[in-house]
Amino acid sequence: MLLPPPSGSSAPIGRVVVHLGARVRALTANGEVELIPPKKESWVVGDLLRLEPGRPPKLIERVNMLSRSAVHGGKQQILAANLDWLIVVAAPGDALKTGLVDRFLVAASHAGIHAMIALNKIDLPGAGEAINELAVYRAYGYQVHPISANTGEGIESFAAAIGQGVCALVGHSGVGKSSIFNRLAPEANRATREIHHESGRGRHTTSVSLMAPLPGGGGLIDAPGVRQFVPSGLEPRDVADHFPGFGPHMGGCKFRDCLHLTETGCAIRRAVDAGALDSARYQSYQRLLESSRESAPKW
């Protein structure tokens, strides 16, 4: 929900919906207000602020955050906070990159953010095969929504699944994130234009991040950093602990630090051999684990 109901006697709450570099705009029960974070703090889209009258706004501790690990020795960058859903978008055909889907799901689980999958462009040939290929994620407990941003197919139940959630769309470039954004958030186009127009007055337009309200009560984030987010900096342990489908088998390995490769008494490999875990996904796990061992993130 964009604005959680105020609890008891607590002060009003604002949600950061626009990030304009040095300033932010926060949605409150009485409309939007413009605020400037204290010097040493940085607020991101999704942040919740306590707005006590006569006092400086106070950042409420983040429930979770989507962050990009340090690139070229820089600091870790927080892209968005307090997300209800990370929506991993995929598309049929050659563009269906289940390895990348796995990577996003691992990153979401590691960050403590619920994830669901949207298979976009189901109006294209190859949709049936893609739906079959993604069926395994349903078996692992993930919602998979076949949709078409172009024809509108499946959009209604997808929007209902998001409900009042605050979400970010992630996925390979070209899968249709912007198209989905524009279809789900009717305000998106206008808001984006306005913000860019305003921020164009001598400011860096690239630093603008925006959350558009959804008709159902939630919010959808369209931020350059989020759109281009590719999880990196995952440690082998993170991959082993958060890989889709592994959860129910996890406690069964003989060694607590099992990486599910060649260790004896590995419950994950036992499940793969027994057909309880998909072998294609297990191969994807091996690849992701391998890449998490390479020191430099791939960009």
Ligand X SMILES: Nc1nc2c(ncn2[C@@H]2O[C@H](COP(=O)(O)OP(=O)(O)O)[C@@H](O)[C@H]2O)c(=O)[nH]1
From ligand X, Zn ion, Mg ion, none, interface partner of 258 (C-beta below 5 to 8 A by class): Zn ion
| Helix (H) / strand (E) containing 222 | strand 219-222
Give the three-state DSSP class for 170.
strand
Q: Which residues bind ligand X (CB under 6 A)?
A: 120-121, 123-124, 148-150, 173-179
Which residue in the set 77, 143, 178, 207 belongs to the binding site for Mg ion (CB under 5 A)?
Answer: 178
Two structure tokens written together for 60: 């409420």
CB of 224 to Mg ion, least distance (A): 9
Give the three-state DSSP class for 134.
helix
* Alpha helical stretches, state H, 23-154: 98-111, 127-139
Binding region for Mg ion (CB under 5 A) out of 99-107, 171-179, 261-269, 272-280: 171-179
CB of 173 to ligand X, least distance (A): 4
Which residue in the set 49, 108, 220, 266 belongs to the binding site for Zn ion (CB under 5 A)?
Answer: 266
Q: Does 77 bind Mg ion (CB under 5 A)?
A: no
What's the rounded Cα separation, in Å, for the pair 215 and 244? 31
From ligand X, Mg ion, Zn ion, none, interface partner of 148 (C-beta below 5 to 8 A by class): ligand X
HSE-up of 285 (CA within 13 Å, CB side)?
22
Which residue in the set 147, 268, 277, 289 belongs to the binding site for Zn ion (CB under 5 A)?
Answer: 268
CB of 243 to Zn ion, least distance (A): 11
**Between residues 69 and 178, which has the closer beta carbon with respect to ligand X?**
178
Task: Tell how strand 115-119 and strand 144-146 pair up.
Answer: parallel
CB of 242 to Zn ion, least distance (A): 14
Question: Could you tell me which of 135, 116, 146, 127 has the C-alpha nearest to residue 278?
Answer: 135
Q: Does 179 bind Mg ion (CB under 5 A)?
A: no
From Mg ion, ligand X, Zn ion, none, interface partner of 260 (C-beta below 5 to 8 A by class): Zn ion
CB of 54 to Mg ion, least distance (A): 42
Question: Could you tell me which of 174, 183, 171 has the C-alpha nearest to residue 118?
Answer: 171
The residue with its CB nearest to Mg ion is 178
Two structure tokens written together for 59: 């950042």
HSE-up of 62 (CA within 13 Å, CB side)?
20
Query: What residues line the site for Mg ion (CB under 5 A)?
Result: 177-178
